[in-house]
Amino acid sequence: MMADRVLSTEEAKGAIRDIQRIINGGLTEQLQALDVNGKTLSDPNKWDGPLAHQFRSDTWPQTKAALEKAKTELEELQQQLTKIATNIFTAGGGS
């Protein structure tokens, strides 16, 4: 059985802060902006033609699903990082 090892280097703490900063610093807003613009391009009253039809029927639905999945996963990552950071920074997980 492996001993319960607690280690949190300054590098690990910095990585947690960096990921949180990236997520909080606009990544989710950028994903939302992509969605807004994708919806605009999916409107045949705003853009039409063969490429527009392909975008509406194929490209955008796949991309939108990937964006939704990424957004959900980022929200889950943010919650997990908050929990990890709280444990590391308050428990003093020896650096």
Residue 1 belongs to a domain: no
Residue 7 belongs to a domain: no
Distance CA 73, CA 82 (A): 14
One-letter amino acid identity for 23? I
Residue 46 belongs to a domain: yes
27: number of CA atoms within 13 Å, CB side? 17
Q: What is the tally of structural domains in the chain?
A: 1
Q: Give the domain extent around 45.
A: 36-89
Residue 68 belongs to a domain: yes
Distance CA 33, CA 55 (A): 17
Quote the pLDDT of residue 95: 45
Residue 45: DSSP 8-state: T
pLDDT for 83 beyond 90:
no
Residue 54 belongs to a domain: yes
Quickly state the pLDDT bin for 92 (edges 50, 70, 90).
low
Residue 12 belongs to a domain: no
Residue 24 belongs to a domain: no
Quote the pLDDT of residue 43: 97
Across the range 19-27, mean pLDDT stands at 87
Distance CA 50, CA 59 (A): 12
Quote the pLDDT of residue 1: 53
pLDDT digits over 25-60, tens only?
888 889 889 999 999 999 999 999 999 999 999 999
